[in-house]
Structure 1
Amino acid sequence: MNAPLPDVPEVRVVGLPQLTTGFDLVERLDLSMHLKVHGPLEPVTGERLAQLAEAISLRGRGGAGFPFGQKLRAVAKAAIRRGVRPVVVVNGSEGEPPCRKDTVMLNRAPHLILDGALLAAEALGARTLIVGVTRNSTEASIRAALAERGLSDRPTRRGNQLRARVVRTPERMVSGEASSLIRAVNGGPALPPGRRERASEAGVGGLPTLLSNAETFAQLAVAARIGTERYGNTGLPGEPGTVLLTISGAVARPMVVEVPTGVPLRYVLQLAGAPPLPQGVLTGGYHGNWIDAVSAHGAVISRESFSSVGGALGAGAILPIGPETCPLGEAQRVANWLAAETAGQCGPCRLGLPAAAGGLSDVLNGGGQAALEALREVMQAVRGRGACKHPDGSVRFFMSTLSAFTDDLAAHVLAGGCGRETTGVLPLPAPGYEEEGIPTGEKIAVDWTLCKGHGLCADIVPELIRLGPDGYPALADAAVPMHLQGRAQRAVSRCPALALRIEAAPPERPARPALPRSDRKALGSGQG
């Protein structure tokens, strides 16, 4: 199995750097080096900043792609209408295993992110800046950057009324959602609140809140320095500038690459050492879509191009897989992880995703057409009914997998398998990263010589155990999440036949290490 991606993988650039300027000089740009490389930045009024964002078609780079200028105007209007000062939040909570672009920026160019956030805060008249992070390295880097600017949670300089603080969230898929971060900042758990609220109206402390992804603020700072005309000279006319991508999966050199829009996807994959003819390319990460080798060959780096071939730019994660691995087996590993990432707050997430992961396992293990139809029914039941974006994003991944690998699906359904092992090229977290609500590394096991099919276990913990057509329990392949550990133990203790037990999940079989740790030389290679 692949090693997890390091916090800061190798960084490369295609063409002239904008976000990654100076990466060839130092490992991390402190404030002094940042100013030498990028120069000073003058304040911009709110209207001019909104016009700037609209002129460069700046959209959020965290996955949703919402127009930044529209968000900025909405926060300003809400603050004026209510007569309050808004809050600015940088979302650097990157909890998805194949995503590292924001982590790279927070570690290596934190001041470029702060430049954009402080521009927005000044333009809006905000007095509070919050940066959400998930990792030790990003927390240390951003705290150091705030200290270099003399910023803290209390005013420390005469005339400086801005208060800035860092909020640490668990390294989880659901913790990176905007509503989860706001809930964490407000003192609650880093989980979606289960209700739809606009941060621009009521976010941190109930105040209008401008929340955007770390790369988005860095792009804003670049555009404010070089102007719209020069910014627009790079990339496509409709999507100007550069984007940051995290390339992993079946590649020789996992990396974060800064690339202008319009560059062929095949060139970026070749740069990372992907297979010449990949079986498929997962675009947009684990809430994204698969595209085939032909589509990958013709696509260019842009939202529009990816969408036209059924892909998604999303948070900028690109993951090719080679012909040697079973694509459905790869999807099963991710499906188990997605199921364990449930926030546990609604039925589609708490019950549906484990059921879908179990259904995919049934298909892989020879369940035939009946198992495939059951899986499709589960996905249809989950779709569009979740309290947050995690169920829909996960179902999108499931459905894309089934439609992208039809030959492999037919082999599993009709012939009992495709004949290939699962080599584990899609990165997942290493054991021991767990926070509340994610896998414990334990699984429920059943002794079939004792089981009498009473079904009490399925009533107690339906997220992990469901009754099959024969009335006997069918167990999820996913590890027991932390938040279900108590109920799993209760199911074991209440089994009348003493047929259940909790045991350590078996380690996955190692495969070739396609995701090596980067070293100091790689970190300093910058523009190589």
Structure 2
Amino acid sequence: MKDAPLKLPDVRWLDPARLTAGLDRHQRLDLPAHTRVHPPLHRPDRDALLALAEAIALPGRGGAGFPFARKARATLATADRTGAPPVIVVNGAEGEPSSAKDTMLLARAPHLVLDGACLAASAFGAAEIVIGVAAGSPGEISVPAALAERELPCRARTLCLPESFASGESGALIRAINGLPAVPAPLKARAADGGTGGVRRRPTLLSNAETWAQLAIATRLGPDAYAAVGTADEPGTVLLTVNRPGTDPLVVEVPTGTRLGPVLDACGLQPGAGVLVGGYHGAWLHPGDAVDAPVSRAGLARLGGTLGAGAIVTLPDSTCPLGETARVAAWLAAESAGQCGPCKRGLPEAAEALAGLAADAARPTALADARRALGAAQGGGACSHPDGVARFALTALDVFAEDLDAHLSGAGCGRPVRGALPLPPAKGPHLEVDWSRCAGHGLCAVLAPDLIRLGPHGYPTSTTVPVAPWQEHGARRAVNQCPALAVRLQHHG
């Protein structure tokens, strides 16, 4: 594995380089290189490790930002009460197309992540460490190689998850560890209360890869040196994935509180028509607000944004903002687990409404339809996916108000949809409607209501519809029973 050629994002930093230290000289830090770059690591006991996490106010870096120390204390309380040793879980299965920071860490600096996980396993008396990675990602090779190089405080294993948006959710990873499909749990439950372990469920401490790496850095530096950069409330550095149209993303390490403008400048980018912060569960910012926005959870929240998993996307002026938003919304709807009403009905309806709004001749009711559908998708979901998609789309309608007016006027904005927002290559089946055959019977909408909706004249409102795995049964029924043989199930590639 030493210096193996891996297709990974380039790495940059605005001083200091902590998580990214040594990556200017090494493609990948194996254990000898890791020990040369990073000082020796002492092993604090349970109370000292908890005190350190509290002193630096370490939040989870996977999206929600839940305090690590509070999560750890809840896990240990369950372990003390039940006598079951905890399980340490590293979530490195990024399903977010605009985020690559955890993939970068596990592929290029895996021992820094394992340092943090092993610290907690040793201090908390864990029975096992599980590292979740996306199947086919560089971490699938890098992590097992790193585990084989080092001494471990308990058994450890790598778990490969299918590459999908839903599998990156923490509940999906826990289900996969338990041998279940890697989709969010239909009922919300705290991993700390017993997330893994089959019949005797074991308390589980789960955080994403960057969180564990930050814990290792803080243990080496101590709380005062760790807080020498960053803000008083959010000390230290943070990893951002800065997406660049037409080329690979950059993973950039910056002190928290750094203004976003200099970060974009360092990556050769302008804010363009708008800046998306927090990825596809995040929020759009006006260009002027984005330049001065501080890269911190509190700073972005004051502007209506969210740091989330640290994914940043700028939208060029040359593409249609509403078309880009509708394109991503359709993908997000197809990526849902389909376990609750907001995902099964709300997101497909919202995606369809956005597509109608992005059309050159949008219906007069298109904006009201889109806002109603997005509002209905919020709240009540089995996981945070519907709420995240709604935030992404609703903030787009606000930030791109000028473009929205052009579409509602009937003229359209005149710009093509260039695919500037990153999405993975199309996969899976999709339904196609043959207009030369369709006679408006409407049976397809009855058999597959999650996929096909009828317009005011009784015909399907879309001719091409992506089909999620949980929708395939309904799609095949619609194909097999269409009286006019007008519906077909096609496969990409």
Using structure 1 for the length normalisation, give the TM-score. Answer: 0.88
C-alpha distance in 2 between matches for 1:502 and 1:84: 49
Code of the residue aligned with 1:141 in structure 2: it is S
Equivalent position of 1:140 in the other structure: 141
Residue 430 of structure 2 is aligned with which of 408, 433, 443? 443
Residue 190 of structure 1 is aligned with which of 169, 182, 185? 182
Residue 322 of structure 2 is aligned with which of 311, 322, 328? 328
Equivalent position of 1:305 in the other structure: 299
Code of the residue aligned with 1:34 in structure 2: it is H
Equivalent position of 1:493 in the other structure: 480
115-124 or 344-353, which deviates more: 344-353
C-alpha distance in 1 between matches for 2:83 and 2:473: 47
Code of the residue aligned with 2:366 in structure 1: it is A
Equivalent position of 1:16 in the other structure: 16
Do structure 1's residue 407 and structure 2's residue 399 form an aligned pair?
A: no
Code of the residue aligned with 1:471 in structure 2: it is G
RMSD: 1.7
Contact 2:434 2:463 in 1 (8 A): no
C-alpha distance in 2 between matches for 1:15 and 1:404: 32
Contact 2:167 2:184 in 1 (8 A): yes
Contact 2:327 2:355 in 1 (8 A): no
List aligned pairs for 1:366-405, cutoff 5 A: 366-405=361-400
List aligned pairs for 1:82-481, cutoff 5 A: 82-136=82-136, 137-151=138-152, 162-205=154-197, 206-250=201-245, 254-275=249-270, 277-365=271-359, 366-431=361-426, 439-440=427-428, 442-475=429-462, 477-481=464-468
C-alpha distance in 2 between matches for 1:7 and 1:343: 29
1:351-381 per-residue CA deviation (whole Å, 9 max, x = no partner) reads 2111111111111222322122122221122
How many pairs are equivalent?
A: 483
1:122-156 per-residue CA deviation (whole Å, 9 max, x = no partner) reads 111112100000043101100001011155xxxxx
Q: CA deviation at 1:252?
A: 6.6
Give the % identical residues: 51
Residue 469 of structure 2 is aligned with which of 473, 479, 482? 482
1:445-484 per-residue CA deviation (whole Å, 9 max, x = no partner) reads 2233433322211121112101222222223754222332
Q: CA deviation at 1:504?
A: 5.5
Do structure 1's residue 28 and structure 2's residue 28 form an aligned pair?
A: yes
Secondary structure of the residue aligned to 1:141 is helix
Code of the residue aligned with 1:314 in structure 2: it is G
Secondary structure of the residue aligned to 2:191 is coil
Q: CA deviation at 1:185?
A: 0.2
Contact 2:431 2:488 in 1 (8 A): yes
Q: CA deviation at 1:258?
A: 0.6
Equivalent position of 1:510 in the other structure: none
C-alpha distance in 1 between matches for 2:292 and 2:21: 29
Contact 2:432 2:465 in 1 (8 A): no
Q: CA deviation at 1:253?
A: 6.5
Of structures 1 and 2, the one scoring higher in RCO (CA 8 A, sep 6+) is: 1
29-38 or 105-114, which deviates more: 29-38
- Unpaired segments ≥5 residues, structure 2: 1-5
1:64-102 per-residue CA deviation (whole Å, 9 max, x = no partner) reads 000001111111111101111111100101011110000
Equivalent position of 1:157 in the other structure: none
Q: CA deviation at 1:51?
A: 1.0
Q: CA deviation at 1:197?
A: 0.3
Q: Runs of 4 or more off by more than 4 Å in structure 1?
A: none
Contact 2:433 2:463 in 1 (8 A): no
Using structure 2 for the length normalisation, give the TM-score. Answer: 0.94
Secondary structure of the residue aligned to 1:319 is strand
Secondary structure of the residue aligned to 1:465 is coil
Code of the residue aligned with 2:158 in structure 1: it is V
Contact 1:62 1:314 in 2 (8 A): yes
Contact 1:174 1:342 in 2 (8 A): yes
Contact 1:128 1:164 in 2 (8 A): yes
